[in-house]
């Protein structure tokens, strides 16, 4: 059984846990296929199984790969999602970072998570992805994201006007620093920090949240994810910023943009003990009250 391993970097204090991870893979007879740049970082400091392989591209993730394991924080997992590209292989996030909301499996659960892979004693959550359509080639061949699509003014530019439409019908004009269209997964991220609501992962919706709106009566809105959401931008600046998760591109204001639900979804692995409500309480201290 092969598992692909993706990570950005290994910090020195993570070395014992990373070694434990690969030792457990060997013990459970799982063959690691490591992303090439991470392999180059660890090959001289981590004792790897003799049958270790290396992959370079998303095309290298074949049907032989049973799962992709992301070692790092939520940002690392978002990078891992770009490798999926319609592949049905599930992703497991082991948190070596800080918050670990998406990568919800802790360092202390490394051995349990690998045993769960072997025994198939895990739960797979289907997570909606958001897809960007444009008249310009943006974000290469990875024009989708797990958390959100966002439009931003540039740092020194004044606020922008974002005319927004649902299936061609006018929704609103946002005078703001930007606008976020978040998936249910992304509703607990950037959108939440801009006062957007939390929605359950299976809710089948998008959250449209303005960033620093100029009008007090403009609030986030939840819309069904069957809608195609399109935009027209007005700005005193000639350019603005488009973002898909942590990836960004600067584009001209006359660009044509629309977002919709991606045709495929992400299969996110979680252990049986973890669920969305527990993660809300434990990671975001949702509902925390010392009286309880």
Is 290 among the domain residues?
no
Cα distance between residue 76 and residue 138, in whole Å: 21
* CATH assignment of the domain containing 92: 3.40.50.10330
Cα distance between residue 58 and residue 178, in whole Å: 32
In angstroms, what CA-CA distances link 245 with 76, 81, 159, 182, 286?
11, 10, 21, 10, 23
Cα distance between residue 229 and residue 155, in whole Å: 25
List phi, psi (to 5°) of 247.
-100, 140
The answer to whether the beta carbons of residues 145 and 248 sit under 8 Å apart is no
CB within 8 A of 16, min separation 6: which ones?
A: none
Listed in sequence order, the DSSP H helices in 136-262 are 190-193
Is 123 among the domain residues?
yes
| Whether residue 37 is found in the same domain as residue 88 | yes
Q: What count of Cα atoms within 13 Å lies in the side-chain half-sphere of residue 123?
A: 12
Q: What count of Cα atoms within 13 Å lies in the side-chain half-sphere of residue 68?
A: 31
pLDDT recorded at residue 276: 82
pLDDT (tens place) for every residue of the chain, 292 residues total: 899 999 998 888 889 989 999 999 999 999 999 999 999 999 999 999 999 999 999 999 988 999 999 999 899 999 999 999 888 899 999 988 676 778 878 888 889 999 999 998 899 999 999 999 999 999 998 999 999 999 999 988 889 999 999 999 999 999 999 999 999 999 999 999 999 999 999 999 999 999 999 988 999 999 999 999 999 999 888 999 999 998 999 999 899 999 999 999 999 998 876 778 888 887 788 877 777 6
| Whether residue 157 is found in the same domain as residue 40 | no
pLDDT recorded at residue 292: 63
pLDDT recorded at residue 18: 92
pLDDT recorded at residue 117: 92
Q: Which domain holds residue 96?
A: 2-128+265-284
Tell me the pLDDT tens digit for each residue of 17-58: 899 999 999 999 999 999 999 999 999 999 999 999 999 999
Is 227 among the domain residues?
yes
The answer to whether the beta carbons of residues 179 and 153 sit under 8 Å apart is no
| Whether residue 109 is found in the same domain as residue 200 | no
* CATH assignment of the domain containing 191: 2.60.200.30
Q: How many domains does the chain have?
A: 2
The answer to whether the beta carbons of residues 98 and 90 sit under 8 Å apart is no
The answer to whether the beta carbons of residues 148 and 190 sit under 8 Å apart is yes
Q: Catalogue the active-site residues.
A: 74
Sheet holding 130-134, edge to edge: 144-145, 130-134, 257-261, 229-234, 160-166, 169-176
**In sequence order, what DSSP letters do the residues of 111-139 get, joined into one string?**
HHHHHHHHHT-EEEEEE--EEEEESS--S
Nearest residue to 93 (alpha-carbon basis) of 122, 63, 73, 120: 73
Is 289 among the domain residues?
no
| Whether residue 29 is found in the same domain as residue 87 | yes
**In sequence order, what DSSP letters do the residues of 70-86 get, joined into one string?**
EEESHHHHHHHHTTTTT
pLDDT recorded at residue 289: 76
Is 291 among the domain residues?
no
CB within 8 A of 165, min separation 6: which ones?
A: 171, 229, 230, 231, 232
Is 234 among the domain residues?
yes
| Whether residue 278 is found in the same domain as residue 186 | no
pTM of the model: 0.92
């Amino acid at each position: 059984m092969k598992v692909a391993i993706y990570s950005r970097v290994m910090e020195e204090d993570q070395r014992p846990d990373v070694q434990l991870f690969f030792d457990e893979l060997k013990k459970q007879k799982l063959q690691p296929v490591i992303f090439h740049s991470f392999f180059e970082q660890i090959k001289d400091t981590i004792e790897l199984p003799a049958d270790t392989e290396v992959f370079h591209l998303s095309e290298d993730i074949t049907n032989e790969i049973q799962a992709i394991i992301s070692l790092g924080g939520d940002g690392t997992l978002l990078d891992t999602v770009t490798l999926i590209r319609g592949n049905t292989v599930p992703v497991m996030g082991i948190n070596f970072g800080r918050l670990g909301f998406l990568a919800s499996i802790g360092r202390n659960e490394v051995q349990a998570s690998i045993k769960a892979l072997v025994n198939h004693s895990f739960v797979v959550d289907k997570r909606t992805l958001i897809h960007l359509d444009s008249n310009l080639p943006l974000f290469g061949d990875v024009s989708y994201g797990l958390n959100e699509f966002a439009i931003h003014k540039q740092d020194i530019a004044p606020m922008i006007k974002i005319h927004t439409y649902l299936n061609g019908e006018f929704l609103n004009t946002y005078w703001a620093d930007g606008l976020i269209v978040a998936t249910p997964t992304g509703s607990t991220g950037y959108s939440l920090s801009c006062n957007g609501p939390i929605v359950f992962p299976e809710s089948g919706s998008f959250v449209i949240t303005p960033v620093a709106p100029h009008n007090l009566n403009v609030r986030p809105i939840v819309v069904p994810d069957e809608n195609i959401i399109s935009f027209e931008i007005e700005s005193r600046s000639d350019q603005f910023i488009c973002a898909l998760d942590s990836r960004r591109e600067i584009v001209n204001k006359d660009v044509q943009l629309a977002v919709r639900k991606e045709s495929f979804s992400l299969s996110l692995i979680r252990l049986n003990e973890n669920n969305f409500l527990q993660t809300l309480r434990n990671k975001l201290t949702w509902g925390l009250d010392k009286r309880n």
